[in-house]
Each structure stands twice: as structure tokens, then as C-alpha cells.
Amino acid sequence: MDSEQSTMSFSNREYAEMHFVYGLCNGNALAAQREYHTRYPDRTIPSSQVFTRLHQRLLETGSVQKKTKEVGPGHDVAVEEEILHMVQENPGTSTRQLAMETGMSRWKIHKVLKGNHFHPYHFTKVQGLEPGDYEARRDFCRWLLERDIEEYHFFKKILWTDESRFTREGIITTHNMHLWNEENPRATREASFQKRFGLNVWAGVIGDQFIGPHIF
């Protein structure tokens, strides 16, 4: 999100058209942003979070325009806006880092993020691929589906294997790695690159038989 959009307001007509597009895209904020840009290329394009917050604001207040926040005891609106801006600029930041930079407690950081519908989504590890691997994987999937149609119980004849690799670089633990966002970004992190060297632990299953584990 652009830094200006955290405080930017749009006209009632613009908000109404944003909400129409948001509904047209079944509540998918990213798709709504793309559709809005296609329909109104000459306008300021709002971030995906604007669509989500607009819908939530309509549900809670019945108004498309933002209400002025009332500052209560111990509540610093400027710091809250700073936290949201920092998370939008760096979704992978931690509450510990935010607390150090703003001087607020981690409990308060969590409260601000939760109050603005941010959630900590974890990475999904995926196989690191070379440029030429994509076409080969697609062809293999097509071949596999065709064989399953031609031969009954074909999948039961396949040796399914899994392998873990341990290198000098250690093992990446994604439990403490996350991205703060209002919608799940489906973030991935490449791992298990074929060009790395180390110790492999392998095991397989075929039918109802377990094979292994083997270490090499």
C-alpha cells in the first residue's frame, strides 16, 4: 500500500463503485483491485486493503466514509497508524521488532493488528524449481492422469517416496516465520534445492508396504 492511502479518502461515488466491484468479485480484495483498475484506469487505484476495510466499515457503521477516531486514555492514534504503515511496508516484520521501534508493548501491537483484521499467515515450503522443470512437471501430470484412466489401480503400483535433506546450512523452521495481512497471501518459500549437498533420509510406500528409512 502507498503510504498516502492510510489517510486518503475517496468520494462517496468512488466508495460505492469500489464496493460494487468488491461484491462482483465475491469478496476477493485482490481481484477487486484489478477489476477496479480495468474499469477506472485514470483514477487513483486503492490498495486491496481499502476494499476490505470499506466492506467492514459498511457492516459496522453503515457509512462509506471513515469516522474520526476518538483518542482515549493510553490510546495514541498516530502510533497505531504508524504500526499499520510499518506492517504494510514490511509484512514479514515481527511484533518484537514493532515493539522496539514504536516503544509499545507486544500485547498492544497484537491488539492493534487484530483490531484492524490483520492475521499472521505462515509460509508454505515448496520445491525449488529450475526454469525447465515446469513444462516437464506438467507433461508428467498429464501422463499420470492418462495412465490412471487406462489401467485400473495404477496408483497402487506407484512407489511413493519422501526425502529429507540435512545440510550445513541447517533446517529452516517456518513456525516463527509469518506475514501480517488482512487476507492470506498464500506466501511460499523455496526449499530443498537439488544443487545443495548434505545427508539425505529417504523412505517409501507402495501399496500397503513401508520401505526404509534409508540414510545416504
How confident is the prediction along the chain (216 residues), in pLDDT tens digits per residue? 444 444 456 788 888 899 999 999 988 989 999 999 999 988 888 888 888 888 888 887 777 776 544 444 455 667 778 888 888 888 888 888 888 888 888 888 888 888 888 887 777 777 777 888 888 888 988 988 888 888 878 888 888 888 877 765 555 555 556 666 767 767 776 665 556 567 788 888 888 788 888 887
Sign, CA dihedral 56-57-61-64, equals negative
- What is the separation of C-alpha 44 from the centre of its chain, rounded to a whole number of angstroms? 24
Residue 104 contacts residue 98 (beta carbons within 8 Å): yes
What pLDDT shows up at residue 36?
92
What pLDDT shows up at residue 76?
62
What pLDDT shows up at residue 196?
58
User: The domain 71-117: what is its CATH number?
Assistant: 1.10.10
With a threshold of 0.85, does the pTM exceed it? no
What gap in Å lies between CA 137 and CA 144, rounded to an integer?
10
What pLDDT shows up at residue 9?
67
Domain spans in the chain, listed from the N-terminal domain onward: 1-68, 71-117, 125-215
What pLDDT shows up at residue 129?
78
Q: How far is residue 80 from each of residues 3, 6, 57, 113, measured CA to CA in Å?
A: 14, 11, 18, 9
* Number of residues written out for the chain: 216
The pairing of strands 188-191 and 119-122 is unpaired
